[in-house]
Structure 1
Amino acid sequence: MGEFDLIRRFFTRPATRAVLGVGDDCALLQPAAGMQLAISTDMLVEGRHFLSTVDPFKLGHKALAVNLSDLAACGARPLAFTLALALPRADEAWLEPFSRGLLALADAHGCELVGGDTTQGPLNICITVFGEVPRGQALLRSGARAGDDLYVSGTLGDARLALEVFRGTLSAPAEVFEQARARMEQPTPRVALGQALRGVATAAVDISDGLLGDLGHILQASGVGARVDTSVAMNLIASNNRATWTSAAFSSEKWLELVLSGGDDYELAFTAPASARAAVQVASVQAQTRVTRIGCIEAETGLHLVDAQGQAMPHRYASFDHFA
């Protein structure tokens, strides 16, 4: 099977929203009147971002999900995406489930594949996604203000738990591991929540490298600090059900590490004025996504962790950095 046969068989579909899709030198997109384009690129490299044993259907899902998560953090509606794919070989048994997982998530969000590139090489998946957002309504990292509440969506830490089990550094019951593994391999991009938060949230970021590290991007861009209540954050891990299992390895310190710096969660961290608490809950219900208030934004720069009594705790949690 040649390169162009591969493209035609697994990745070519009629354009429905794009003016022109796969098959020409460029795709053509026409944003609606009064809209701005939101564009993001993410790369997944075998051995760095995913294990070689991952189910290709789930990998196709995740490859697009991590990009849709960026659109969610901007409050944008997905439009289209391009796929650049390096493959060791043209393996139909791998390509069929990969493309099926990729396009199933694309269809669920009305985001069509409009172009890209294929080449031979170590397995590498690079997607550029395009969305649209009403002019002047995009959620940015730079809008947080002192006094704002700090929220996160969904649950945190489960993906890192699954990774540690894969690495053999932690053990967990099969049921707990499978729940965590699903969060690592098939994350849910919070696209509906991002759109519902337009006009409500003051700043937002998607959590890919760990809560504290990604929150730091908001704090730096906004020139503010934050206080995080660790007693609330500790309950954000879905697998944290100590009534069903216990492990000496899972101290409170370890739970906090998974939640605060685990990464690969693809949830949203966002800020909103205290006066908007009711509106945040409306957005949560509308998007059918849980949100939790975990702290507040402060005028003094820096990130401060506190316990249930409001006492300061040491900050020794490092988020993921490709070159650190």
Structure 2
Amino acid sequence: MGEFDLIRRFFQRPAPAGVDVGVGDDCAVLAPTPGQRWLVSSDMLVEGRHFLSTVDPARLGHKALAVNLSDLAACGATPRGFTLALALPRADEAWLAGFAGGLLALADAHGCPLVGGDTTQGPLNLCITVFGEAPAGQALLRSGARVGDEIWVSGTLGDARLALEVFRGSVALDGAGFAAVREAMERPTPRLALGQALRGLATSAIDVSDGLLGDLGHVLAASGVGARLDVDALPRSAVLASQPVALRHLCGLAGGDDYELVFTAPPGARLPDVGVALTRIGVIEAEPGLRVVDGRGEAVAHGLQSFDHFSS
């Protein structure tokens, strides 16, 4: 099977509304919506660095797009389309069918068509660029947090890191517990409806990809503020909540791969109900830095850092 047969068989589909030209030409041609601004994000997933070689290809396809859609969610954007650059060791038809199935099922669920990309032979590597729109002046950014704002997070934190620790052999879970945290690791849910509902309400937002400490730190740096974070308030699944304190802290504060939204909002703000739990985990302060405390307000020494590709 050649490169262009591969594209036609697994990835080429009719262009939907808003896409004048999709897969199969030198460039995609997208029709912008009047009054909207483009939001664009790229993420690369490398075998052995971002995912295990044994991962189910359908789950890998899902996650490859989900992590990009999560960036759009953090900015309050509506998806419009994406491109895929795919390096493959070989053209394995069964693998491609699973991967394309997981990828395009999530794309269909969020109205985000594949509009182009590239394929080549090489070590397994996935790079997706996603395009979205938001009304002019309404995109959520990292730079708007204000002193007195409350810090909120969606869903639960830490399950993806707990699954990684099981794969590493440092933690043992029963079958049901491992299945639950593995699902969180391999099939994250991009919080697009929440991000869109937060436009005009949240003062800042970011998705948790590298760990809460580091990602919230980006908001603080961009906004020129500090924060107090209550580690006991972090929302955890029942599986993670049953683990020792040190492991709970590791997974919740520095785990990453959660793809939940962390956002700030004024006290008393009426938060949207989009079917996902929202938990208040802290407050923005004037003093620079991020202070981690427990439920009694006492400082928590943790020594943890979020993931960094060039220091981890």
* Secondary structure, counterpart of 1:6 in structure 2: helix
Over the aligned positions, Cα root-mean-square deviation in angstroms equals 0.9
Query: Which piece of structure 1 moves more, 100-109 or 24-33?
Result: 24-33
Aligned equivalents of 2:229, 2:174: Cα separation in 1: 30
* Secondary structure, counterpart of 1:75 in structure 2: coil
Aligned equivalents of 1:194, 1:6: Cα separation in 2: 35
Structure 1 residues 78 and 162: CA distance shift in structure 2, 3 A: same
Aligned equivalents of 1:14, 1:264: Cα separation in 2: 33
Structure 1 residues 270 and 72: CA distance shift in structure 2, 3 A: same
Task: Give the aligned partner of residue 217 of structure 1.
Answer: 218
Map Cα deviations across residues 3-42 of structure 1 (whole Å, 9 max, x no partner).
Answer: 0000000000111131211111110112211000000000
Task: Give the aligned partner of residue 247 of structure 1.
Answer: none
Structure 2 unaligned runs (5+)?
none
The 8 Å contact of residues 57 and 101 in structure 1, kept in 2 or not, is answered as yes
Structure 2 counterparts to residues 151-162 of structure 1, below 5 A: 151-162=152-163
Aligned equivalents of 1:261, 1:240: Cα separation in 2: 14
Task: Give the aligned partner of residue 245 of structure 2.
Answer: 252
TM-score, normalised to structure 2, is 0.98
Query: Which piece of structure 1 moves more, 12-21 or 62-71?
Result: 12-21
The 8 Å contact of residues 152 and 269 in structure 1, kept in 2 or not, is answered as yes
Map Cα deviations across residues 286-307 of structure 1 (whole Å, 9 max, x no partner).
Answer: x211110000000111000111
Amino acid at match of 1:44: L
Structure 1 residues 273 and 144: CA distance shift in structure 2, 3 A: same
1:237 is displaced (CA, Å) by: 3.6
1:300 is aligned to 2:287? yes
Task: Give the aligned partner of residue 262 of structure 1.
Answer: 255
Aligned equivalents of 2:49, 2:231: Cα separation in 1: 29
Q: 1:272 aligns with which of 265, 280, 297?
A: 265
Aligned equivalents of 2:82, 2:139: Cα separation in 1: 19
1:240 is displaced (CA, Å) by: 3.0
Aligned equivalents of 1:144, 1:238: Cα separation in 2: 31
TM-score, normalised to structure 1, is 0.94
Aligned identity (percent) is: 67
1:275 is displaced (CA, Å) by: 3.1
The 8 Å contact of residues 56 and 94 in structure 1, kept in 2 or not, is answered as yes
Structure 1 unaligned runs (5+)?
243-249
Task: Give the aligned partner of residue 290 of structure 1.
Answer: 277
Task: Give the aligned partner of residue 98 of structure 1.
Answer: 99
1:2 is aligned to 2:2? yes
Aligned equivalents of 2:280, 2:218: Cα separation in 1: 18
Structure 2 counterparts to residues 1-324 of structure 1, below 5 A: 1-16=1-16, 17-233=18-234, 235-242=235-242, 250-276=243-269, 279-280=270-271, 283=272, 285=273, 287-324=274-311
Map Cα deviations across residues 103-140 of structure 1 (whole Å, 9 max, x no partner).
Answer: 00000000000000000000000000000000000000
Amino acid at match of 2:32: P
Aligned equivalents of 1:295, 1:321: Cα separation in 2: 24
Amino acid at match of 2:106: L
* Secondary structure, counterpart of 1:63 in structure 2: helix
Aligned equivalents of 2:106, 2:254: Cα separation in 1: 27
Aligned equivalents of 2:293, 2:61: Cα separation in 1: 39
Aligned equivalents of 2:63, 2:238: Cα separation in 1: 19
Task: Give the aligned partner of residue 246 of structure 1.
Answer: none
The 8 Å contact of residues 73 and 193 in structure 2, kept in 1 or not, is answered as yes
Aligned equivalents of 1:238, 1:156: Cα separation in 2: 11
Structure 1 residues 191 and 238: CA distance shift in structure 2, 3 A: farther
Amino acid at match of 1:165: V
Aligned equivalents of 1:288, 1:90: Cα separation in 2: 40
Map Cα deviations across residues 55-97 of structure 1 (whole Å, 9 max, x no partner).
Answer: 0000000000000000000000000000000000011010001
* Secondary structure, counterpart of 1:263 in structure 2: coil
Amino acid at match of 1:239: V
Map Cα deviations across residues 149-192 of structure 1 (whole Å, 9 max, x no partner).
Answer: 00010011000000100110111111111100000000000000
